[in-house]
């Protein structure tokens, strides 16, 4: 599958965030649905940040020491927000790298 550009991914995250954040209901039913939406949103955000990192490295950059280098280098204007109490981090793997969520 052809990869989207990182700017398109950022737009997708913004649109998803808007739609997932709208229409949340209160009470037990709403909190249950909110938890599922939060998990889906977190998963989507990790995927988007991972794709941005991949694009950054593929454009001849080195793997950054910190995920925030994607913004400070000017590669993207901003990253999607991680869930409360979490932060994005780069995990080095034997054959590559990936973005994960860590506790703050």
**pTM score of the predicted model:** 0.64
Domain assignment present for residue 1? The answer is no
- pLDDT score at 100: 96
Domain assignment present for residue 87? The answer is yes
Torsion of CA 3, 42, 17, 49, to 10 degrees: -40
Domain assignment present for residue 26? The answer is yes
Domain assignment present for residue 59? The answer is yes
Domain assignment present for residue 41? The answer is yes
Query: Which own/partner contact pairs does 14-17 have at CB distance under 8 Å and 24+ positions apart?
Result: 14/80, 16/41, 16/44, 17/41, 17/80, 17/81
Residue 31 confidence (pLDDT) above 60: no
Percent of the chain with pLDDT over 70: 65
Instruction: State how many domains the chain has.
Output: 1
Domain that holds residue 33: 6-103
């Amino acid at each position: 599958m052809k990869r989207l550009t990182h700017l398109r991914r950022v737009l997708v995250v913004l649109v998803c965030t808007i739609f997932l954040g709208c229409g949340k209901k209160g009470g037990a039913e709403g909190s249950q649905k909110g938890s599922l939406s939060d998990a889906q949103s977190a998963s989507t955000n990790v995927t988007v940040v991972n794709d941005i990192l991949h694009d950054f490295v593929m454009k001849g950059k080195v793997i950054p020491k910190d995920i925030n280098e994607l913004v400070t280098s000017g590669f993207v204007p901003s990253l999607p927000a991680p869930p409360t109490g979490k932060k994005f981090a780069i995990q080095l793997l034997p054959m590559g790298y990936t973005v994960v969520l860590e506790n703050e």
